[in-house]
């Protein structure tokens, strides 16, 4: 073994170029020509590639450092002599990734933000030797947003593709029993809430009458329109769809069990695993009682319970609390942590918490649900304080229904991945490299199953990338940020570095807020509780994060994400003319707050 210095190669006329992203960490395995750090100057982005394969021993740079040709980026432990290989030439942001590995080779798998470090790879099973019922160039396991995107992209690139889905219609959890039906119900909840407050500006309506059959029909119509469109696009692309549950039997074979119990053997050259996740079911709850629900059950709208307990104050729990509260249920939310929506900045959550309180939703933090019992009168739940020795804020109470929304777990251990030799972590995640490749070169994995955040838009990005790499294109993951949105009322949305994260990492940042109380548009619609927050690197003045709380926050967030991807400075955002009066102009005004040029607020100058 030898340790060599990896240096910045010839980068043309550039010098003292700032590091805006470090792509690897100590202990990571890297391939030759793999990107190590991203540099940016005059809006031109460069990736410094590794001139050799090995393991990162020591990082010599950090975000904010400036580099020139010949600067040492890191120390790399390699096999062989200590003489450093000739440096490669730096490539642009669309830099080529390592070429697709030949069958039988084992490229290093880079631990990433997706899944934790992997255990030893299992020994794959031998091929079945049976005649295959289906043969294809590419098979995609799971037809959620990531899966169908991967399948459609693979077909567009000329690969004979099969798409396997356990549901009768395409779309996976998201379209069938997740993000799409929940947003349809949240729209109904928002209309109810808006009508309830219309009297504030002189328009009075009677008490809303909820017809559950029609509401369910509306929800199913929304789902059907989207899933039907997917089926049509699959047919147009000649993607073969198979309904059933698939498991690996060897590195190139899957067994598919249909609803009728019949099995089919599928043989493939490439596979993309998009098998998703499932709701976590806490062990102390009586799951055989239909009054105890997970998020899928809650979307069925069996009835409108008089009382509903939501266990878990994360995004899913709060979205469903919003729906059922608007429909007329008395909702109680218990959360084990010390704030709602753990992971989001506390100031973002406060306007939502205040509004929930006004709507009569009872929230108890640092509280754990225990001693759950079902009888004819309802579901009785006892509570404990999160901290030992403290008295719980809530006494044992009986509820008509209980929704458990404490997260999701990946399905990595449910697909027979060990038979294919694919590594799966103890928690069920599948580690992948920056090309979405598993430890088995011809098998890729995407979406929830490769790690947090478990978001549909992350999965679609990964699915497209995996299909392109499998088709021979030289690409790798280059997106800097992944946005998150809670479709509550008000909505909460954030992207990039959060204020909490910046403080924890000791980053020197500047935070600028523009309150919606100063927004003409927000005042006009009577929703001034929100604000827009931007986070800037103090040294470069480039935006590294941002968040919005307020109506349509999710729709407004994209500008911030794009600004981060483009390395925009506060001045760039502030000088972009935004239409007036709009909620989106709050982004430009927040940039002006940071820049000190805001005229829509009076901010005393620092002495």
Q: Which residues are catalytic?
A: 580
Q: Please classify residue 437 by burial: count the beta carbons closer than 10 Å to its beta carbon, then call 0-12 exposed, 13-18 middle and 19+ buried.
A: buried
Check: CB of residue 322 under 8 Å from CB of residue 458.
Answer: no
Angstrom distance (rounded) from CA 362 to CA 330: 8
Name beta bridge partners: 333. Answer: 310, 363
Angstrom distance (rounded) from CA 585 to CA 595: 15
Angstrom distance (rounded) from CA 107 to CA 281: 37
First to last CA, the chain: 58
Fill in the DSSP letter of residue 311. E
Q: Rounded to 5, what percent of the chain is helix, strand, coil? A: 25, 30, 45
Name beta bridge partners: 484. Answer: 494
The residue with tokens 């619609």 is 525
Could you tell me which residues come within 8 angstroms of residue 211 by beta carbon, excluding any fewer than 6 positions away?
A: none
- Mapping DSSP to helix (H, G, I), strand (E, B) and coil, where does residue 595 land? helix
Q: What are phi and psi of 248, to 5 degrees?
A: -70, 145
**Strand locations in 326-439, DSSP E?**
330-335, 362-365, 367-375, 378-385, 397-399, 401-404, 408-410
Angstrom distance (rounded) from CA 421 to CA 197: 58
Two tokens, residue 410: 């990946």
Spatial CA neighbour of 424 closest among 439, 412, 414: 412
Could you tell me which residues come within 8 angstroms of residue 376 by beta carbon, excluding any fewer than 6 positions away?
A: none
Angstrom distance (rounded) from CA 307 to CA 313: 17
Relative to beta strand 263-273, strand 134-141 is parallel
Q: What are phi and psi of 592, to 5 degrees?
A: -70, -35
Length of the chain equals: 607
């Amino acid at each position: 073994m030898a340790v060599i210095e990896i240096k910045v190669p010839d980068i043309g006329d550039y010098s003292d170029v700032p590091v805006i992203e470090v792509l690897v960490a100590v202990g990571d395995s890297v391939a030759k020509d793999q990107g190590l750090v991203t540099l940016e100057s005059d809006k031109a982005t460069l990736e410094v590639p590794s001139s050799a394969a090995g393991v990162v021993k020591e990082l010599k740079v950090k975000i904010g450092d400036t580099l020139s040709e010949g600067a040492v980026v890191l120390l790399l432990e390699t096999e062989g002599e200590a003489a450093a290989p000739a440096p490669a030439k730096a490539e642009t942001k669309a830099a080529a990734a390592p070429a697709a590995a030949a069958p039988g080779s084992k490229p290093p798998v880079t631990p990433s933000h997706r899944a934790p470090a992997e255990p030893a790879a299992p020994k794959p099973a031998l091929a079945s030797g049976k005649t295959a019922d289906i043969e294809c160039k590419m098979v995609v396991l799971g037809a959620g947003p990531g899966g169908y995107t991967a399948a459609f992209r693979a077909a567009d690139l000329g690969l004979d593709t099969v798409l396997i889905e356990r549901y009768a219609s395409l779309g996976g959890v998201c379209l069938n029993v997740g993000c799409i039906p929940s947003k349809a119900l949240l729209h109904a909840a928002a209309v109810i809430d808006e009508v309830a407050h219309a009297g504030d500006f002189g328009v009075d309506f009677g008490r809303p009458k909820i017809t559950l059959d029609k509401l369910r029909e509306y929800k199913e119509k929304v789902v059907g329109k989207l899933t039907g469109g997917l089926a049509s696009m699959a047919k147009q692309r000649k993607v073969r769809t198979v309904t059933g549950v698939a498991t690996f039997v060897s590195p190139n074979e899957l067994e598919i069990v249909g609803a009728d119990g019949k099995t089919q053997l599928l043989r493939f050259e490439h596979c993309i695993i998009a098998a998703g996740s499932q709701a976590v079911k806490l062990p102390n709850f009586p799951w055989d009682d239909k009054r105890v629900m997970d998020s899928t059950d809650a979307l069925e709208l069996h009835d409108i319970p008089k009382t509903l307990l939501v266990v878990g104050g994360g995004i899913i729990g709060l979205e469903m609390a919003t729906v059922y509260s608007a429909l007329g249920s008395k909702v109680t939310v218990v959360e084990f942590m010390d704030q709602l929506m753990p992971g989001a900045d506390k100031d973002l959550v406060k306007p939502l918490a205040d509004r929930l309180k006004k709507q009569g939703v009872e929230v108890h933090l640092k509280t754990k649900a225990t001693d759950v019992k079902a009888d004819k009168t309802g579901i009785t739940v006892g509570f404990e304080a999160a901290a030992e020795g403290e008295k719980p804020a809530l006494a044992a109470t009986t509820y008509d229904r209980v929704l458990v929304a404490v997260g999701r777990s990946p399905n990595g251990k449910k697909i027979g991945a060990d038979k294919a030799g694919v590594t799966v972590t103890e928690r069920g995640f599948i580690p992948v490299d920056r090309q979405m490749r598993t430890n088995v070169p011809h098998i890729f994995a995407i979406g929830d199953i490769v790690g947090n955040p478990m978001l549909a838009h992350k999965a679609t990005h990964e699915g497209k990338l995996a299909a392109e790499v499998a088709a021979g294109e030289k690409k790798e993951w280059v997106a800097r940020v992944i946005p998150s949105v809670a479709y509550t009322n008000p909505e909460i949305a954030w992207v990039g570095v959060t204020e909490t994260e910046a403080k924890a990492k000791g980053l020197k940042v500047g935070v600028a807020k523009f309150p919606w109380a100063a927004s003409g548009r927000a005042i006009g619609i009577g929703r001034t509780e929100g604000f827009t927050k931007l986070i800037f690197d103090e040294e470069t003045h480039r935006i590294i994060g941002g968040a919005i709380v307020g109506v349509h926050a999710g729709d407004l967030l994209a500008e911030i994400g794009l600004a981060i991807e483009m390395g925009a400075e506060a001045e760039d955002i502030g000088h972009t003319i935004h239409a007036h009066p709009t909620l989106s102009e709050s982004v430009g005004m927040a940039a002006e707050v940071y820049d000190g040029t805001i005229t829509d607020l009076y901010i005393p100058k620092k002495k």
